[in-house]
Amino acid sequence: SQYADYLLKNHSEEIIDGSLKYLVVHIPLVENKLPHHVEKYQSWVADYAQKYGVSEDLIFAIMEVESGFNSKAVSKSNALGLMQLKAESAGRDVYELIDGKDGQPNRAELFDAQNNIRMGTAYLSLLKREYLQGVRNAKNKEMISISSYNGGITKTLKLFGKTPDVAILRVNQLHPKQVYRTLRYQHQSNETRLYLDKVLKAKSRYRDLLGLNV
């Protein structure tokens, strides 16, 4: 009501049309401006999301949870950059399976913001399309991918079976709520258990922010 009073006082005018009198109220519109960190990386995220078949909201969510959008972040386990990649694991996988190169990325490559987003998105694609390709339910696949990004694919799949094949067969028998409970409460790493919730909540927020649910 206070805003209505403000508009009537500061953004209204009377218009007379013959014997009729109109009160016209102008409502100033403000551009829906995205946060700086989203604008800064949005074009790269959009490009690599399309190239590797990973959703933009998931990429932004992982960047937020992993590094708080600090492109020079270094973890205790020596994960580097925006999406906190380890050169000898995720970095090596992307080098070999996506880029077709031997070896692993160096620190300069992982501290480069654009390349870090590319490699992090490519690794999410590997989790989804290669390591978890047998998982039929999209929600199950996404949740296991998120937990695996933080806690490792091997440890995560062992929650469901002794071997990857057995684990995937088991996952395909479970409802997403059952998969969520297993990841959230049974993973041996407390960090990974909490990580799943943090990423899912951030992903929902970025989905709304980017208008991806429209």
Residues annotated as part of the active site: 66
Give CA–CA dist 161/138, Å, rounded.
Answer: 19
Specify whether the CB–CB gap between 84 and 117 falls below 8 A.
no
Give CA–CA dist 46/118, Å, rounded.
Answer: 10
Question: Could you count the other beta carbons within 10 Å of the beta carbon of residue 194?
Answer: 14
Specify whether the CB–CB gap between 34 and 12 falls below 8 A.
no
Region of 211 (left: φ > 0; alpha: ψ -120 to 50; beta: rest) is left
Give CA–CA dist 45/212, Å, rounded.
Answer: 14
Give exposure, 177-193, as e/b (b: 16+ Cβ within 10 Å).
Answer: eebbebbbeebeeeebb
Which residue has tokens 């469901």? Answer: 160
DSSP alpha helix (H) spans, the chain: 2-10, 36-52, 56-67, 92-93, 107-111, 113-126, 138-151, 153-157, 164-171, 176-186, 190-209
